[in-house]
């Protein structure tokens, strides 16, 4: 399902980036963001006008999951498809919330003054992983900055979050057995919307072994490699500008593996 989700995101991104007149805060009737396909492939959660909606993958009426004056974004499905985590600025800055996928009351899980963005559920569905620029570990060599996030985990019922990685790991996704974490690194302050950017701070895809603590760099393109998702046990798919504009690529989970372009 990860590759389907990524390809759907690519299509939506192409629509959004072509909608420049609405980039200044206006919201059109076809402005959809943050698409997320359910684990069974039957439903799609997305953001429209600051609320979370869910629609059947085959099309039809989209039903609002949240109706609130605050801005809700970044929906993430639980492994069983029963819950959706999302971020909301109901209390000032973005916090992580969770809500039943069929509708109900949203429960707030994080309370920090830094913005929190959910990225994935644990394989057992009992906790949620999220990005937040709170405070680096005392041993971290990263320059402390609100632009370089850490990865945290919080229980589905709340409680004190646990730092998972001090490495700035964007769009992190756990393997089905939870033993590895795919992520894109962020090592500078370049605007992520800058197209065709090549430099030493362009993003790459990495994998973290949660058992050994080892980080392995998987891509080496001088430009942008982003949004990795698992594709089976030994492959991953991701977005890359190595062919010009962002397209979907597939690669084996080993350094130096030859990437295969899937979209044109």
Q: Are 7 and 263 in contact (CB under 8 A)?
A: yes
**Chain centre distance of CA 132:** 12
pLDDT per residue as tens digits for the range 180-202:
999 999 888 788 888 998 988 89
pLDDT given at position 18: 38
Rounded to the nearest 10°, the torsion over CA 24, 146, 181, 154 is -100
- Say whether pLDDT at 130 is over 70: yes
- Say whether pLDDT at 250 is over 90: yes
- Say whether pLDDT at 258 is over 90: yes
pLDDT given at position 27: 57
For the chain, how far is it from start to end, CA to CA, in angstroms?
Answer: 20
Residue 129, CB half-sphere, CA atoms under 13 Å: how many? 23
Q: What is the mean pLDDT of the chain?
A: 87
23: CB partners within 8 A, 6+ apart: none
Read off the pLDDT of each residue in 225-230 and give the average, rounded to a whole number: 96
User: DSSP string spanning 165-196?
Assistant: E-S-EEEEEE-TTSSEEEEEE--S---TT-TT
pLDDT given at position 4: 45
- Say whether pLDDT at 2 is over 80: no
Calculate what percentage of the chain has a pLDDT beyond 90. Answer: 72
Read off the pLDDT of each residue in 240-255 and give the average, rounded to a whole number: 93
Higher local confidence (pLDDT), 185 or 143: 185
pLDDT given at position 10: 46
- How far is Cα 22 from Cα 172, in angstroms, rounded to an integer? 29
- Say whether pLDDT at 19 is over 60: no
Q: Are 239 and 223 in contact (CB under 8 A)?
A: no
Q: Which of 73, 140, 90, 36 is nearest to 151 (CA)?
A: 140
- Say whether pLDDT at 30 is over 50: yes
49: CB partners within 8 A, 6+ apart: 27, 31
- How far is Cα 209 from Cα 69, in angstroms, rounded to an integer? 40
- Say whether pLDDT at 9 is over 70: no
pLDDT given at position 135: 82
Higher local confidence (pLDDT), 148 or 23: 148
Q: Rounded to two decimals, what is the model's pTM? A: 0.86
Q: What is the band of 45 on the pLDDT scale with cuts at 50, 70, 90?
A: very high
């Amino acid at each position: 399902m990860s590759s389907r989700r990524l390809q759907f995101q690519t299509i939506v991104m192409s629509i959004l980036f072509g909608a420049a007149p609405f980039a200044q805060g206006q919201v059109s009737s076809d402005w959809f963001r943050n698409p997320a396909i359910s684990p069974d492939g039957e439903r799609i959660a997305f953001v429209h006008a600051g609320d979370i909606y869910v629609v059947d993958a085959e099309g039809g009426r989209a039903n609002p999951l949240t109706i609130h004056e605050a801005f809700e974004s970044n929906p993430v499905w639980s492994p069983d498809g029963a819950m959706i985590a999302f971020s909301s600025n109901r209390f000032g800055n973005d916090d992580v919330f969770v809500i039943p996928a069929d509708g109900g009351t949203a429960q707030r899980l994080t309370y920090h003054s830094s913005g929190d963005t959910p990225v994935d559920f644990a394989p057992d569905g009992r906790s949620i992983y999220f990005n937040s620029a709170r405070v680096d570990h005392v041993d971290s060599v990263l320059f402390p900055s609100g632009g370089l996030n850490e990865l945290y985990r919080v229980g589905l019922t709340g409680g004190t979050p646990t730092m998972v990685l001090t490495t700035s790991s964007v769009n992190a996704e756990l393997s089905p057995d939870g033993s590895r974490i795919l992520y894109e690194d962020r090592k500078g302050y370049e605007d992520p919307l800058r197209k065709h950017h090549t430099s030493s701070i362009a993003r790459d895809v990495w994998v973290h072994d949660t058992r050994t603590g080892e980080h392995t760099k998987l891509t080496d393109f001088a430009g942008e490699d982003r949004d990795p998702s698992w594709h089976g046990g030994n492959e991953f798919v991701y977005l890359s500008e190595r062919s010009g504009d962002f397209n979907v690529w597939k690669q084996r989970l080993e350094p130096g593996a030859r990437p295969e372009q899937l979209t044109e």
